[in-house]
Amino acid sequence: MAPSRTVIENCAIATVDAHDTEHASGHLVVAGDRIESVGAGPALEGLADVVRRIDATGHLATPGLVNTHHHFYQWLTRGLATDHHLFDWLVALYPVWARIDEPMVRAAAQGSLAMMARGGVTTAVDHHYVYPRGCGDLTGAIVGAARETGVRFTLARGSMDRGQSAGGLPPDFAVEALDAALAATEAAVDAHHDASFAAMTQIAVAPCSPFSVSTELLRQGAELARRKGVRLHTHGSETVEEEQFCKERFGLGPTDYFASTGWLGDDVWMAHCVHMNDADIAAFARTGTGVAHCPSSNARLGAGIARVPDLLAAGVPVGLGVDGTASNESGELHTELRNALLVNRLGAHREAALTARQALRLGTYGGARVLGRQTQLGSLEVGKLADLVLWRMDTLAHSTIADPVAALVLGAPAPVTLSLVGGAVVVEDGRLTAVDEDAVARTARAEARRLAEIARR
């Protein structure tokens, strides 16, 4: 039986392919879950099994946005500790986060996913590393929320085994024992990881950070990931305090420390990577280690400006991340396109740091490359999965910006008229199709209040 087709015509198209091919007025044909055709002008006449034909005049079509780093549970603690640097912020919030349970995490995941999907995200990562004792099935809650929303998803199953009594930052009752963390991570891989081309759910091994996990957890975590054939994710080189911590405790900077534990490679990506010298960048480039750039969170916590132009020039894979909404309250990736461009222009490269098209590439193909899915996602090309977004560009907010890519990146957030994940409609006319946004908001608000009450006891 032939797959049904959706035809989208009369829109500007930014394919983000290897040649940055663009069409001022073009078409896309989606057959089943794949892109069947993309090009200038209208689609061919006489196509069979067309179930929907969309006149997308006034729109820009792009690949769906790929969010490479997030902490969904933080949806419940937005707006707290707003004037702290990272370590003080963590110390202030860890005691609250250590009280989360399954209903809270499910509500937070639903809220985080809904906000991202409404803003054009079609693939998301959740780095979840807080597993308090007796908290319920947090992994199942997060995976279930992603499945309901319809977003393609990677759970970076995190862990912490270095509590305060061992020199770490989190409370002891918020961390796991080494063997328990490894066993639970392997169980998550076995239960949920899909290695297929069109996978909707994947799992990565993701010990939290150098200051919250033991060296042994990093080493054994890397061994586990490679034995199971999944990717590795963690935080790295985020702040000067982290660099100082690594040098005092391990006698090495973060990148050298990660190298010593097996945490550099083309199956690894790290969040932030703000404080990196030339040798660190060269090591990432040589090994193919990826970076999740989180400009809003880096600014919110005063972490600094990542050397994104230098990373790109060296050939390091770089994508964008929202980071947790306790350090990026908007929870949208679209704002990261704009902030990546603007913040990096404050650095040494000034106005030559990034272009609007480079920013869009970071948020699409760059993210797919960081997740090891660049053959499937991240650009509008024949044979790739039909993960795409139609942005409305003819409203008051954008109507006088002639270049639609510049309008998308530099302008106000553009309305999402249509978002497809594997050809399935996830957002239409700015509203989610699979979940009730208002119900999600009500439940998340109630769970946030319950968490705040428990944390005050």
Q: Are residues 310 and 256 in the same domain?
A: yes
Distances (CA, A) of 165 to 95, 161, 170, 179, 212: 15, 11, 9, 18, 11
What is the distance between the alpha carbons of residues 355 and 281, in angstroms, rounded to a whole number? Answer: 21
Read off the pLDDT of residues 298-349 as tens digits, 9 standing for 90 and up: 999 999 999 999 999 999 999 999 999 999 999 999 999 999 999 999 999 9
Q: CA 39: distance to chain centroid?
A: 29
- The answer to whether 376 touches 368, Cβ cutoff 8 Å, is yes
Read off the pLDDT of residues 417-442 as tens digits, 9 standing for 90 and up: 999 999 999 999 999 999 999 999 99
pLDDT of residue 1: 67
Work out how many domains the chain is built from and give that number. Answer: 2
Q: Are residues 327 and 416 in the same domain?
A: no
pLDDT of residue 423: 98
Tell me the average pLDDT of the chain. 96
pLDDT of residue 168: 79
Burial of 166 (0-12, 13-18, 19+ CB in 10 A): exposed
Q: Which residue has the higher pLDDT, 3 or 312?
A: 312
Give CA angle at 52 (49, 56), nearest 5°.
Answer: 135
11, 17, 19: which is closest to 41 by C-alpha? Answer: 11
Residue 34 included in any domain = yes
Residue 453 included in any domain = no
Residue 228 included in any domain = yes
Residue 452 included in any domain = no
Residue 455 included in any domain = no
Residue 451 included in any domain = no
Q: Are residues 406 and 296 in the same domain?
A: no
Other CB atoms within 10 Å distance of the CB of residue 338: 19
CA dihedral defined by 236, 237, 239, 245, rounded to 10 degrees? 90
Structure tokens at 222: 């890397």
Q: Are residues 101 and 208 in the same domain?
A: yes
Domain residue limits at 298:
65-370
Read off the pLDDT of residues 349-368 as tens digits, 9 standing for 90 and up: 999 999 999 999 999 999 99
Provide mean pLDDT across the span 164-170: 83
What is the distance between the alpha carbons of residues 423 and 330, in angstroms, rounded to a whole number? Answer: 27
Residue 297 included in any domain = yes
Q: Are residues 128 and 43 in the same domain?
A: no
Structure tokens at 135: 């908290």
The pLDDT > 70 percentage for the chain reads 100
Structure tokens at 140: 């199942």
Q: What is the domain-level CATH number for residue 29?
A: 2.30.40.10
Cβ-proximal residues to 148 (8 Å cutoff; 6+ apart), any chain: 110, 434, 435
Q: Which residue has the higher pLDDT, 171 or 223?
A: 223
Q: Are residues 125 and 188 in the same domain?
A: yes
Question: In which band, very low, low, confident or very high, does the pLDDT at 2 lie, cut at 50, 70 and 90?
Answer: confident
Lowest mean pLDDT among 1-10, 28-37, 201-210, 410-419: 1-10
Question: Coil, strand, or helix at residue 101?
Answer: coil
pLDDT of residue 91: 85
**Domain termination site, one of 346, 370, 394:** 370
Q: Are residues 249 and 390 in the same domain?
A: no
What is the distance between the alpha carbons of residues 40 and 31, in angstroms, rounded to a whole number? Answer: 18
Instruction: Please state the length of the chain.
Output: 457
Q: Are residues 354 and 408 in the same domain?
A: no
Read off the pLDDT of residues 391-401 as tens digits, 9 standing for 90 and up: 999 999 999 99
126: DSSP letter: E
CA dihedral defined by 101, 107, 113, 116, rounded to 10 degrees? -110
Q: Are residues 72 and 40 in the same domain?
A: no
Q: Are residues 101 and 185 in the same domain?
A: yes
Q: Are residues 255 and 178 in the same domain?
A: yes
193, 182, 183, 190: which is closest to 221 by C-alpha? Answer: 182
Q: Are residues 13 and 90 in the same domain?
A: no
Residue 413 included in any domain = yes
Read off the pLDDT of residues 30-71 as tens digits, 9 standing for 90 and up: 999 999 999 999 999 889 999 999 999 999 999 999 999 999
Q: What is the domain-level CATH number for residue 272?
A: 3.20.20.140
- The answer to whether 129 touches 206, Cβ cutoff 8 Å, is yes
